[in-house]
Structure 1
Amino acid sequence: MDQHLFNVSNNSHSHGFRHLSTDSIRIFLIGISSIDINRLIECTTKSLGYRFININDEIKSKIRGNNENDSDSFRKLQLNTFMSILENLNNINVIIWCGDNLIDTVEIRDILRLQKFVVYLNQIQNNTIDNSTFADNNRRTSINIHNNYENRKLVYRQCSQYEFCILKDENDWTLIEKHLCYFLKTITNNKRRLKSDPSFFLSLTSNNLLTVDKDKFQSIVKGCDAIELRIDLLDSYDIDFIGQQISYIRKNAFLLPIIYTVRSQSQYGKFINDEQLIFHLLTYGIRFGCEIIDVETCWNDTLRYEWLNKNKDKHANIIGSIHAEKFDNIEQMLMKCSHNGLADIIKIVINSIDIKYILQFTSICKSFKLESHQNILSLCMGNKGKLTRVLNVFMTPVTHPLLSYASAKGQMSVEETQLLRQSLGLLESKKFYLFGKPIEHSLTQLLHQTGFDYFYLPYNYELCETDKFDMIESIIKQTDFGGASIAMSLKQFPLELIDYVNESVNITGIMNTIVKLDNGQLYGDNTYWKAIYTLLDNILVKSIRSEYNVLILGTSGMARTALYTLKKLQFTGTIFLYNPRNPAKAKELAKDNIIAVNEQSFLENQNIYLIISTLPSISTFTFEEKFFFHQTNNLPILFDVNYVPYHTCLTRQAQKFNCRLIRGIDMFIEQRFEQFQLWTNKVHLVRSLLEQIVKQKYDELYIQSFDT
């Protein structure tokens, strides 16, 4: 199976993060208050599942009973409240909103500087409405910065290690919340594990991304696994300007890791050879949450190792890079690029026209091994070095025709590189299939082929409408077979055709995915349960997984898949199992916290939070209306696994009673995402695109046509 630049878990929403130890995380947010900012922080805290503390609210509640209005008393109240909160946090993950005036107290500024995660929320001033709780200057302890925004920003930055920039004129606060969640997850988690497998990064050459059209930018980054922001090529090195460039990338290429690079003139870049300034600018990369920082090897050891050791436990992976015409001792340069094991990636680049030397250089780099196991990126600039870009698999730098110029001579686009690899036999063509009958209206081909094309992969996804297993057997034995989806209509797939399967297949009796592994073996999986897991994980929050009950309608393989998923979710509440057509069949699956239901009336007053219907789409089953009136809490959520038709009898009834719905189309998309992940390990980079395309087509076929 192909792998992505970052090692990611089976849950495609994880974005490759590995959680820190069980130690609690304290995040302090500072910045200018506004109604929007306050709401943003509250929503972000809820999304992350952290506890939220607004210190200004705490202080405000204490002021009501305090008759002392002088600034010294107020400063003392601020400090005492702040210290009291810190002393009583216990072992919990918490976001503490400090607002804009807490930094006026010197002692609090000193405490903030000692904290691990203090984030300055930087919103451009003309977007900001100062809505501070304490606008009265008499109540503010003076450091003479109340009316000077630039001075105030300086103090915010002195008190913080990180900075989240809001793109100028951005008013989509849902999007900002999404980006802030990602930012906070990035800085509070360990480094992402890097995979030494096929990947590309786009080397940007724009001097100001804010002038680049969104559609053009998204075309430029197509097929890439990361984006290199060349700070040395920007119009300005001002921290706010750089922050806005990063915010632009986050908005228009969400989840693509940013490689933060300040390329010096001695290394074929544009920035002056001033190592003090360069390392100062590199710190901005850490501050803004960039995932990868390029640290040139050419600078003096003292300054270089001081910076590297200071940031070695931060979130960012480090590239150790060197660029030269040629090297007398290639192994020695590779060792130097490792930064004594502090680098996660080695990038070594030559600018030679000597073919013999280029081949020697490539051979040495390919065979070079370090105990610290860094990934090696070895290239030669110029036309004669293009072959090195084809042979270099891990993090190959690319350009795009829509860029005004390439950042290095000999750089090619993703499409050009993939075509050359294919012509040289380095990238094999593969065929993927949907097996089943009938399947002519399936949206599976649209989703997978769009994804393959996005990454310029020479893969074709075809429909194979059949229920003949001998035909399927002949296809999966072909050398160019890459994998397959299996429609629900194709039941009892002979597992003897598969080398080994995931445990979910044996437990649920469903296999809907085949993967051809690199060693030629065939692997079978059930991605339905992973899709159900993803859809339910946020709904069945951990705090209610023992307090509420779930009802599953049906006893088919999909019902067993739902039961398997609830077990994986560690759901310990009661699970009622009811088969309206044959209630006795539920007894076969009843055990532990699973109760077979014989009559619908038994379900009344049972505190049911979620209903999962695995009944066929043609089922006419509905509840007696009193069922909805007799639930002890809120109306239940209905999850109907059928995606065609859009409406079933049960979903119509649930809509009538204003129940929340999870529709089958959502499960369809999620389980296909899981298949794409197994085949490419790149699904999180194209989730939004594929979901948009599939839902648009689904709307045309099954919603608009039905309504008309």
Structure 2
Amino acid sequence: MACLILVYDVDHSFLIDLAVSITGYVLQPRSYQLSSGVRPSSIVAYDRKYAPSSDVRLIKTRTNTPVLSINLRCLDTVKQQCKEHEGAVDAFDHEYLFVKGKFHRKEFCRFLSFVTGQSDPFSHIRGKKRSVYIGLTYPNVRVALSNMAIVSVGADALELRVDLLHEEGQEGTLPSLDYVAEQLMTLRLQSELPIIFCIRLIPSGGKWPLNEMPLAIMYLQKALQWGVEFIDLEDLFSDELRASLLPCKGHTKVIASHHDFSGQLDWTSPETLDIYRTCSEFGDVVQIAGVATDLSETFEVQRFCGKVVRASSSSSPPLTAFNTGRGGKLSRILNPFLQATTHPLLPTSSAPNQLSLVEVNGVLAVLGEIVPKKIYVFQDPDIDAALIDKCFNELNLPHQAVPLSPRQDSSVQLLLNEADCGGAVFDFSSTFSDQLVLASRSPEAILTGSVDTISIEDGRLIGHNCLSLGIRSLLVQEHSPSAIKGQDVLVIGRSFTEASCVVSALLSLECGQIFTLGFSVPPEITEKAVTCTTTEFEDALTSVGVFSTLSTQDRSFLAPLLGLISNRHAKSKTQALVYMDTHGSQKDAAVGVARAAGWSTIMKEDISAAVLAVRLRVLVDQSIHPDFLRMVRRQQLY
């Protein structure tokens, strides 16, 4: 783990405590760092007035420990600070931009997790059979904020087209750096999807002039500092300009793109393979776009992709290849990796003849690339078949969610073996699914001993525990994995079966000691978990997280217990991190105690949405954000 050097304004010192809480890193005094070097997994904070860029560089020369320097900058004062500290900003590896009064802890956590290498959205996208992004074409993304959850449904990433941004009253045709920064931050506050930072040049169908390439590189350098997940880097940039950019890319992935709108690109020629090889030298992803006048050219694209795959190794960058123009629509549809799509609510598509995700899925269904599936939903109050169907309809998928009441194992096995079955969803507390004949079980299903979702892959039944995966995803929304790693936690429940999904999620994050209250654990995990007796209870009061799986009638002691733990942390000048209640609501007394003490809180509604998002990914390989699911569920209620 790296050491973080954070430079802040005195009015925003709260960010330092928040960074400590999010990462779990130890805050070290500046004087200690300068005299003794730095330790990994630590934070040293500087007031901007006393943080010359030479100090930042000095620390890096004194240690072999990886060091990341981050400039914490409020957008409300960014213009003034840019003038006062021009040149000093380049000393930092990263720059975190935020808005006064609109600060989101989740967004700060996402930034810190990404720049420290603890999150990897690229691997998540690469693991999908089909992935798409939405090309945003707004001159000002603020106009789309109310519709962002709808526009982005089903997308794996959002493309910010910087060359299309236009500030009201701006001089010239290009947006200012301040405006680009504000637009990026606005988008981040509204969506948790990875962002592709794209400056499309005029010859490639964009609006950025060729004579402004150095300025484009400077903007791309800032994007790397801002910690965007992807940048689009065209091969039109010279080797020298690209070389100035790549050494500082950090964990950002580069989409190396080649666009030929002259009609001269020949997918069958060796020169096109050379284009792929050249782009592979500086890209983590290769994008090649030609132009087609005839539908038959689609098959040339497919053959080219097959040739690349056969010649590639596991370390080769994935390829996204397609034709533009009317004759290129089918090649767009058949492109499985990071397919560019649009949406009817966008002012225009980011490229001519681009299709919406709804249109793409409709054609794929007609072609037989998406086979209609029945998802059997063994109904309980937390599993809403109507909500699953709503997601299918929103994305124009031919699937159907079929609600059923629990039945005998033999009849369920017969349903799962039907040709049109795409899987099944079970109640979290169900045990009859464990008796089914499955080809394999996921690690979470093995550890918990229970299956709540069954997917079908190449005719094989795979058992999953999506509750455990959903809980894990929630835990890393407001805390980096490093904050939980090695830290003690307290899990409360009536049985291990009831609490197993929470325990599984915590073990996957490599937590410290798990203290259990109300139940014991299986022998295979007794090294990591201990049942609270009078002796252990004293140690359990220092836990950084409390997780309750108790039903509503057994909860009267939770608020006093959380108060006791909070007081213990206050005396030791430490801080607890999270309170999760699998049956709780925002009105519970324990939630009020946790929030008053500065804990993150995770309730039943959050868990239900997160689990359904995981299930849709497992069952039909679709990315539906929990925010959209919560929005739709509320609409159904009212």
The answer, yes or no, to whether TM exceeds 0.5 is yes
Equivalent AA in structure 2 for residue 184 of structure 1: L
2: CA distance, partners of 1:687 / 1:666: 8
C-alpha deviation, 1:250, in angstroms: 0.8
* Mapping of residues 248-327 of structure 1, within 5 Å: 248-254=186-192, 256-274=193-211, 275-300=213-238, 302-307=239-244, 309-311=246-248, 314-324=251-261, 325-327=263-265
Query: What residue in structure 2 maps to residue 171 of structure 1?
Result: 101
Report the equivalent of 1:188: 116
Per the alignment, in what secondary structure is the counterpart of residue 46 of structure 1? Answer: helix
CA contact (8 A) 1:552 1:613 kept: yes
1:615-667: per-residue Cα shift (whole Å, max 9, x none)?
777x7797799999999975999976557xx799xx88999999999765555
**Separation in 1, partners of 2:563, 2:185:** 48
Q: Deviations over 1:402-448 (max 9, x none)?
A: 33322322111111111111111111222212225xx3x44432553
| CA distance in structure 2 between the aligned counterparts of 1:308 and 1:124, rounded to whole angstroms | 24
Answer yes or no: is 1:364 the counterpart of 2:294: no
| Counterpart secondary structure, 2:260 | strand
- 2:316 and 2:35 mapped to 1: Cα distance? 42
Aligned mate of 1:46, from 10, 15, 21: 21
Residues 116 and 272 (structure 1 numbering): CA distance in 2 closer, same or farther, change over 3 Å? farther
Change (3 A) 1:620 1:647: farther
Aligned to 2:464: 525
Amino acid at match of 1:460: Q
* CA separation of 1:252 and 1:603: change in aligned 2, threshold 3 A: closer
| 1:219 to 2:150 alignment | yes
Q: Which residue matches 1:71?
A: none
Counterpart check, 1:399 vs 2:399: no
Question: What's the CA shift string for 1:460-512, capped at 9, x where partnerless?
Answer: 22211132334322321222212211125753336343222245555654322
Give me the whole-angstrom Cα distance separating, in 2, the residues matched to 1:220 and 1:628. Answer: 40
Asked if 2 retains the 8 angstrom alpha-carbon contact of 1:435 and 1:490, the reply is no
Which of these residues, 130, 134, 154, is aligned with residue 202 of structure 1? Answer: 134
Q: Are the aligned partners of 1:165 and 1:243 in contact in 2 as well (CA < 8 Å)?
A: yes
Q: Are the equivalent residues in 2 in contact too, given 1:120–1:156 (CA < 8 A)?
A: no
Q: Structure 2 CA distance, aligned partners of 1:279 and 1:587?
A: 56
Query: Per the alignment, in what secondary structure is the counterpart of residue 91 of structure 1?
Result: coil
- Alignment of 1:108 onto 2:55: yes
Is 2:450 the partner of 1:510? Answer: yes
| Deviation string, structure 1 residues 512-561 (Cα, Å, up to 9, x no partner) | 221111x110011333444565677879955652xx7x575534632565
User: What does residue 76 of structure 1 align with?
Assistant: none
Deviation at 1:311, TM superposition (A): 4.0
Which segment drifts farther, 534-543 or 450-459?
Answer: 534-543
Percent identical residues: 19
Is 1:234 aligned to residue 165 of structure 2? yes
Which of these residues, 411, 414, 422, is aligned with residue 354 of structure 2? 411
Instruction: Report the alpha carbon displacement of residue 356 of structure 1 after superposing the two structures with TM.
Output: 4.3
Q: Structure 2: how far apart are the matches of 1:226 and 1:214? A: 16
Distance in 2, matches of 1:339 and 1:590, equals 48
Where 2:182 maps in the other structure, the secondary structure is: helix
Give the whole-Å Cα distance in 2 for the aligned partners of 1:223 and 1:460. 17
Aligned-pair CA distance for 1:299: 3.9
Distance 1:228 1:112, change over 3 A: farther
Q: Is the 8 A contact 1:223 1:456 kept in 2?
A: no
C-alpha displacement of 1:252? 1.9
SS in 2 for 1:122: strand
How far is the alpha carbon of 1:574 from its aligned partner? Answer: 5.3
SS in 2 for 1:154: coil
Are residue 29 (structure 1) and residue 7 (structure 2) matched?
yes
Give distance in 2, aligned partners of 1:560 and 1:106.
49
Deviates more, 1:40-49 or 1:244-253: 40-49
Asked whether the equivalents of residues 201 and 228 of structure 1 are also in contact (C-alpha less than 8 Å), the reply is yes
Residue matched to 1:118: 69
Give the TM-score taking structure 1 as reference length: 0.71
SS at match of 2:86: helix
Q: Kindly tell me: are residues 591 and 205 of structure 1, through their superposed partners in 2, closer, same or farther at Cα, counting changes over 3 Å?
A: closer
Cα distance in 2, alignment partners of residues 578 and 198 from structure 1: 42
Q: TM-score, normalised by structure 2?
A: 0.78
Give the Cα–Cα distance (whole angstroms) in 1 for the partners of residues 3 and 562 of structure 2. Answer: 41
Question: Which moves more between the two structures, 460-469 or 383-392?
Answer: 460-469
- The structural deviation recorded for 1:203 is 2.0
> Is contact 1:449-1:461 (8 Å) kept?
yes
Q: Does 1:350 align with 2:298?
A: no
Secondary structure of residue in 2 paired with 1:206: coil
Shift of 1:386: 0.9
- Whole-Å separation in 2 of the counterparts to 1:290 and 1:298: 21
Offset from partner CA, 1:651-702 (integer Å, 9 cap, x none) = 889999999997655554554444334225655x51223245547868x8xx
- Give distance in 1, aligned partners of 2:296 and 2:522: 74
Equivalent-residue separation in structure 2 for 1:85 and 1:350 (angstroms): 54
Between the two proteins, the alignment pairs up a number of residues equal to 599
Deviations 1:334-357 (A, max 9, x none): 432443532122211122314444
Gaps of 5+ in 1: 1-21, 56-80, 129-147, 580-585, 701-708
Cα contact 2:56–2:69 (8 A) shared by 1: no
> Which of these two proteins has the greater Rg computed from alpha carbons?
1
Pairing partner for 1:378 from 321, 336, 356: 321
Gapped runs of 5+ residues in structure 2? 167-173, 570-575
Q: Distance in 1 between matches of 2:207 and 2:140?
A: 15
Quote the residue 1:11 is aligned against: none
Q: Does 1:483 align with 2:423?
A: yes
Closer/same/farther in 2, CA of residues 106 and 392 from structure 1, 3 Å limit:
closer
Cα 1:232–1:112 shift into 2, 3 Å: farther
Indicate conservation of the 8 Å contact 2:492/2:518, yes or no: yes
* C-alpha displacement of 1:602: 10
Distance 1:615 1:686, change over 3 A: closer
Amino acid at match of 1:223: G
Alignment of 1:451-600 (within 5 A): 451-487=391-427, 490-493=430-433, 495-502=435-442, 505=445, 508-517=448-457, 519-531=458-470, 541=484, 544-545=487-488, 550=490, 552-555=492-495, 557-558=497-498, 570-572=511-513, 575=516, 577=518
Matched residues in 2 for 1:359 and 1:350: separation?
Answer: 13
- 2:20 aligned counterpart, secondary structure: helix
Q: Which residue identity lines up with residue 181 of structure 1 in the other structure?
A: C
- Aligned-partner SS, 1:410: coil
Q: One-letter code of the match for 1:101?
A: K
The answer to whether the 8 Å contact 1:431/1:462 transfers is yes
- Distance in 1 between the 2:548 and 2:81 partners? 56
Letter in 2 for 1:279: I
Q: 1:42 to 1:450 in 2, by over 3 A?
A: farther
Q: Deviations over 1:58-108 (max 9, x none)?
A: xxxxxxxxxxxxxxxxxxxxxxx4xx52343542323333233235x5743
